[in-house]
Amino acid sequence: MQEQLSASPQRTFRDPAGSIEVRSDGAFRSVHPAYATDMLAFLDEPLATGLVSAGLLISTTVMEMPSPVSTSAESPDSEAHPLHLRHPRVSFPSYPWEWSPALWLSASELTLNLCSDLLKEGWILKDATPLNILFQGVEPVFVDVLSIQRADLRQPVWFAYGQFVRTFLLPMLAHSRLGWPLQVALTRRDGFEPEEIYAALPWTQRLRQPALSSVTLPLLLSRLTSSRSTGTSPVGRTVKNPEVARHILLKTLAGLLTQMRRATPPPGTSDWESYTQTASHYSTADHTAKQDFVRKALTESLPARVLDVGCNTGVYSRLAAKAGAEVVAIDTDLQAVDRLATSLRNSSLNILPLCVDLAYPTPPTGWQNRESRSFLDRTSGHFDTVLMLAVLHHLLLQSQIPLGHIATLCNTLTTRTLILEWVPPTDSMFQQLLRGREALYTHLTEAAFREAFAPYFTIQGELTLPNQRILFHFVRRQG
C-alpha cells in the first residue's frame, strides 16, 4: 500500500551540519559541504556497513556528491553545493513521550553501545538524545548519521555527556524515584537539570546511586567551581596518549550504561496484566471464540499494517504479527505497554508497543507545531487494519466520545478493515463504567451503534459471543 503524508514535509533546522526532510518515499538529508568529506569517509567504513547490516544504524544511499568548491564550517562558500543522502523511512515513527521504560532503556543502550563501537574506530557521537532513535518493532535504530563525527582522541571528555544525562538518565530517574511521567519529555526537549531532580529527591535518594553520581555530585561540583571561578574548564584539558583518552571515554560510557540500567524500573503490576485469564465476564469459550474470529478475519484480510487500540497484554497484537503484519499496539496503561515491550525482546514479532490514549492522542510539537507530528497525522493512510477489541465502551463512557465521532475516527484510522467489539449495555463492564449515569446513556443501543458505523463500513462478518458481546469484521466503504 502507498502511504501519503497528510502534512507538507518540513526540513529540520537545528543541526548546522545539515537538515533532513521526510517524504513518503524516504528521508532525504542535505549535508553541508564542510562536513561532507567526513560523512562519506564514515559511510565507507566497514563499521558503518556492519552497523547497518545489524539493524542498529539506518542505511544510507548517496544521491548527489557535493561540489568540489573548498569550504569550511567557519566560512562557507555560497557557491558550494551540499551532499545529498537518502535513508529509508522507518515504518512508523514514534517519540520518547510515547515510550515505556523498556523502550527508553533500549534507546539509551543503543546510544551508548554505538558510541563505544565508534570510539574503537576513531569516531564518536557529538550528541546523545532519544530523538536520534526510532523503533522497528521493539528494536531501536539510530537514524541521525550526522551525529557521527571523527573523535579527537586528545580529548578525554565526551561532549554529549551532559545531554545524555539530561535527556535520558534524569527523566528515567525522575520517573522511577519520583513518579514523574515519562510523557513530560513532550515539553522538555533538553530534559532536566540536576538541580530540578535534587530539589525533589528525599535525602536518602540523593545519597544513593544512580542519583549520587548523576544529580548530587554534579550539583555540588557545579557550586564549588562557580564559587572558586578558577577560569579553567575540564573540557579544555587534553591528554597526549590517544589510548588513554579512549580508555577514559569508554569507562565513561560504561558508567552511564550502568546508571541507566539502575534507574530503569522493572515492569510494574498492571490492572490489565491478567485480564484475558481472570476477566469474569469472559468464559474460556468466549476467549476461544473471540480469538478464532479475529484470527479468521486476519487470515481473510491479510493485513500489512495493523493498529491495535487498547492492546493491554498484546494477545491480539501477536495474532496480527503472526499473520505477517507490522503492528503498532497502543494502550493508556504504561505498565501493560512496558510488560508487552519487555516480553517482545528477542522475539521475531514486529510489534511496536506505545503508550497512547486515542481519546487524547499525542499532539504535534516543536517549532510551529511541525517538528514532531501528531499521532493521528502519523496514522493517516498508514494502517490497512485496525483492531478495537473491548475498547468502544471505554471511549463512550469514560472519555464521553459520541458514537458518531468514534465511527468517523475509525474511518480515518484504517484504509480497509476494522475488527471491533460491541459491548452491550447489559454487560457487567458497561454497567461498571456507567457509575450511576444510566439516564444519560440510554441512547447507546446496538441499533444506534450499527447506524453510526453503516455510512463508513459494510459488515464482512459478525459473531455474538456466549456473553452477548458482538464481534464485527468491518470493511471500509471506498469513495
- The answer, yes or no, to whether residue 386 has pLDDT greater than 60, is yes
Q: Based on the number of CB atoms within 10 Å of its own CB, is 187 exposed (0-12), middle (13-18) or buried (19 or more)?
A: exposed
| Confidence band, pLDDT 50/70/90 cuts, at residue 435 | confident
* pLDDT in the model for residue 65: 75
pLDDT tens for residues 174-210?
999 999 999 999 999 999 999 999 999 999 999 999 9
Q: CA dihedral defined by 160, 161, 162, 167, rounded to 10 degrees?
A: 80
* pLDDT in the model for residue 340: 97
Domain ranges (residues) in the chain: 1-89, 92-227+234-265, 275-476
| Confidence band, pLDDT 50/70/90 cuts, at residue 24 | confident
d(Cα 454, Cα 292) in Å, to the nearest integer?
24
Averaged pLDDT, 401-422: 97
- The answer, yes or no, to whether residue 217 has pLDDT greater than 50, is yes
Averaged pLDDT, 74-92: 79
Q: Nearest-CA neighbor of 197 among 185, 189, 188, 206?
A: 206
* pLDDT in the model for residue 281: 65
- Of the chain, the end-to-end C-alpha distance in Å amounts to 17
| Confidence band, pLDDT 50/70/90 cuts, at residue 68 | low
Region for 8 from its dihedrals, namely left if φ exceeds 0, alpha if ψ lies in -120 to 50, beta otherwise:
beta
Averaged pLDDT, 343-366: 95
CB atoms within 10 A of CB 478: 6
* pLDDT in the model for residue 251: 97
- The answer, yes or no, to whether residue 71 has pLDDT greater than 50, is no
Mean pLDDT estimate for the chain:
90
- Please report, for residues 166, 206, 211, 307, the alpha-carbon distance to residue 181 in angstroms, rounded to integers and kept in the order given: 15, 20, 18, 24
Averaged pLDDT, 421-430: 93
| Confidence band, pLDDT 50/70/90 cuts, at residue 277 | very low
d(Cα 90, Cα 111) in Å, to the nearest integer?
17
162-166, 305-309, 364-368: range with lowest mean pLDDT = 364-368
Q: Enumerate the H helices of 66-132 as residue ranges.
A: 101-120
Q: What proportion of the chain, given as a percentage, has pLDDT over 90? A: 80
* pLDDT in the model for residue 233: 52
Q: What burial letters (b/e) apply to 227-265, b meaning 16+ CB within 10 Å?
A: eeeeeeeeeeeeeeeeeebbeebeebbeebbebbebbbe
| Confidence band, pLDDT 50/70/90 cuts, at residue 278 | very low
- The answer, yes or no, to whether residue 77 has pLDDT greater than 80, is no
* pLDDT in the model for residue 225: 72
Give the three cell numbers for residue 404.
458518531
Give the distance from CA 63 to its chain's centroid. 28
- The answer, yes or no, to whether residue 79 has pLDDT greater than 70, is no
Cβ-contact 313, 340 below 8 angstroms: yes
Give the distance from CA 73 to its chain's centroid. 33
Q: What are phi and psi of 472, to 5 degrees?
A: -125, 135
* pLDDT in the model for residue 320: 98
Averaged pLDDT, 396-416: 96
Helices and strands per DSSP (H, E), number in the chain: 19, 15
- The answer, yes or no, to whether residue 74 has pLDDT greater than 70, is no
- The answer, yes or no, to whether residue 275 has pLDDT greater than 70, is no
Q: Based on the number of CB atoms within 10 Å of its own CB, is 432 exposed (0-12), middle (13-18) or buried (19 or more)?
A: exposed
pLDDT tens for residues 127-138?
999 999 999 999
d(Cα 338, Cα 331) in Å, to the nearest integer?
10
What CATH class does 275-476 carry? alpha beta
* pLDDT in the model for residue 380: 95
| Confidence band, pLDDT 50/70/90 cuts, at residue 81 | confident
What 8-state DSSP symbol labels residue 372? Answer: B
